[in-house]
Amino acid sequence: MTTLHDPTIRSFASDNYSGVHPEVLAALAAANDGHQIAYGEDVYTERLQQVFARHFGEEAQAFPVFNGTGANVTGLQSMLPRWGAVVAASTAHINVDEGGAPEKVAGIKILNVPTDDGKLTPELVDREAWGWGDEHRAQPLVVSITQSTELGTLYTPDEIRALADHAHARGMRLHLDGARLSNAAAALDLPIRAFTRDAGVDVVSAGGTKNGALAAEAIVVLDSAASAGLPFLRKLNMQLSSKMRFVSAQLIALYEDDLYLRNARHANGMAARLRSAVEAGLADGSIAGVRFSQPTQANGVFAILPDGVADRLRESFRFYDWDASKNEVRWMCSFDTTESDVDAFVAELSRLTRG
């Protein structure tokens, strides 16, 4: 097949826009020859358990799935009875970007809490963590957080531990959406277990697709008492891969050595370069009218642009509005974002804001 797209076009819209990392493609090719038992009884899925045990602890159980929505919905469904509810930030992916899948597929009520930085605190959780025993209220039984958050911010291990202790003391469990888990590990310069298992998290959605994989995520159960029926729910929710070796092989390629960190550090570094270049432009007058709306702690930059600039800038570089009502945009960097991509983007932003 001939290439149908222009590979020179670059984007700051999403880390989902990037391709598959060459080492992940090589892992797919290595897993391709011959036959392996289907539905997860293959040697690659067995190896993945060992790899994730090193990152999450010996008791961790990994359930490969196709995508982040499937990981979040199925993982949360396994943590809740039919009458259960989840407390999450109002900006959480499960509340905003899952197309109603938690509600429609899993029957989960999302109790969302407004938060300026995308992060929950024990005090914020308590705004919705009440009403146990009231048959008229969905029972808040899980707290779900995202690391790094949808606003590009980070939880420290101590912050996650405080949430875990708070939730557990109330008979609740803690779920972590780790679509950008690697970016958090790179930014914090900590092993993954430091802000998951060691911090009291019960179930994790471990990301791969945003960091160089192709349709490869996993539900990682850190406390088996917190999750029930996952093998059945994964099938019920159409997340059981017949040729699971190809999902597992990608996650092995990412997490067995340091590829997940190399990719994430690069993406984070490009976001830092982008922010620093805009800040320098604001300081020397070559860029005008741009304000940042969130700290840049991982691979996302959130900014507020002058009127009309976003649409003109999108003629050259695709990116998303975050809150169009106040001209707030999101710029995402990926494992394959280059310094020249960033420099060209900043140059165009400079031209448009000073033109």
Dump pLDDT digits (tens) for 48-65: 999 999 999 999 999 999
Domain covering 260-354 in this structure, CATH number: 3.90.1150.10
What is the DSSP code string of 37-99? -STT-SHHHHHHHHHHHHHH-TT-EEEEESSHHHHHHHHHHHH--TTEEEEEETT-HHHHTST
* Block residue for tokens 């860029």: 287
Tokens linked to 49: 């358990």
Give the position of tokens 């040697």: 43
Report d(CA 301, CA 294) in Å as an integer: 7
pLDDT at residue 355 greater than cutoff 80: no
The overall average pLDDT reported for the chain is 97
Structure tokens belonging to residue 257: 């050595």
pLDDT band at 354 (very low <50, low <70, confident <90, very high): confident
- Whether residue 318 has pLDDT greater than 90: yes
Q: Return the pLDDT at 34.
A: 97
* Residue 253 CA: distances (Å) to CA of 19, 78, 94, 179: 15, 27, 27, 17
**pLDDT tens for residues 182-229?**
999 999 999 999 999 999 999 999 999 999 999 999 999 999 999 999
Residue spans of alpha helices (H) in the chain: 22-30, 43-56, 68-79, 93-96, 101-104, 122-125, 157-169, 181-188, 230-236, 245-255, 259-284, 309-313, 339-354
Place of tokens 């679509």: 179
What distance lies between CA 229 and its chain's CA centroid? 24
Does the pLDDT of residue 263 top 80, yes or no? yes
Tally of CA atoms within 13 A in the half-sphere of 231 that contains its CB: 5
- Residue-level pLDDT at 76: 98
d(CA 242, CA 88): 32
Residue 103 has pLDDT above 80, yes or no: yes
Alpha carbons 132 and 153: distance in angstroms, whole number: 31
Query: pLDDT tens digit string along 226-242?
Result: 999 999 999 999 999 99
Q: 286: how many CB neighbours lie within 10 A of its CB?
A: 17
Question: Is residue 148 reached through a cis peptide bond, with omega within 30 degrees of 0 on the bond before it?
Answer: yes
Strand 139-146, strand 173-178: pairing = parallel
First to last CA, the chain: 43
- Counting Cβ atoms within 10 Å, is residue 194 exposed (0-12), middle (13-18) or buried (19+)? middle
Contacts of 96 (CB under 8 A, 6+ apart): 90, 150
At CA 14, angle to CA 12 and CA 18, rounded to 5?
90
**Phi, psi at 339, each rounded to 5°:** -60, -35
Report pLDDT digits (tens) over 134-189: 999 999 999 999 999 999 999 999 999 999 999 999 999 999 999 999 999 999 99
Domain ranges of the chain: 22-257, 260-354
Query: What CATH number has the domain spanning 22-257?
Result: 3.40.640.10
266-300 pLDDT tens trace = 999 999 999 999 999 999 999 999 999 999 999 99
Per-residue pLDDT at 335 exceeds 90? yes
